Structure 1
Amino acid sequence: MTGIQFSDEALSAFQTTVRQQLDLVEDTIIAKLKGDLALEPAFGKFPQAVQAAEKYKTNFGSAWTDVQGLRNALKAIDEACTQTLKNYGKTEEDNTAK
């Protein structure tokens, strides 16, 4: 059979990259959002400062939602890779066992 061949080594390497990115998101980005960036700066009481504080809250909420979405997507990709690798091994055994 010609064409594209499945490579479990390539998928494993891709999964390693996904897991590294997931670690980065969880250990660095989420940690930063829960740490320093979770504390709203003291903007003051001037009208522009109140607007800046509201904008900070809105942007922080959007960033948090986006990062959680990224984290969930990376976890789903990791799980799909694990399942694919598991099923591929079984399929190969089924196809070669006669």
Structure 2
Amino acid sequence: MRSILQTVWCCVAHMPLLTEYKLVCIVLVMDRPIDKALAACGGNQSELARRMGGKVRQAHVWHWLKTGVIPAERCRAMERATGIPANELRPDIFGTDSDAA
């Protein structure tokens, strides 16, 4: 069973039409590998890019977030940067733990 990381963002929102304040909470369920990798870097796209090294830039990380796909050639660098195994980042390319058994 996969673990699901959940982040709760709460803020106080002013409702101008109602002239009152309400607590607004947004729950983000992060079960995509790129979301887990980003969470390992404190949610900072630039930090993830820096840790990966090479020619990886924040714009690349942004693109991976939008598409949900990490290029296979970047998985080993992301594994070193975040500690998340490549087979979790791209099980379609690197297989799963159960494939090894």
TM-score, with length taken from structure 2:
0.23
Q: Comparing both structures, which one devotes a greater share of its residues to helix?
A: 1
Query: Which entry has the higher C-alpha Rg, 1 or 2?
Result: 1
Larger RCO: Structure 1 or Structure 2 (Cα < 8 Å, ≥ 6 residues apart)? 1
TM-score, with length taken from structure 1:
0.23
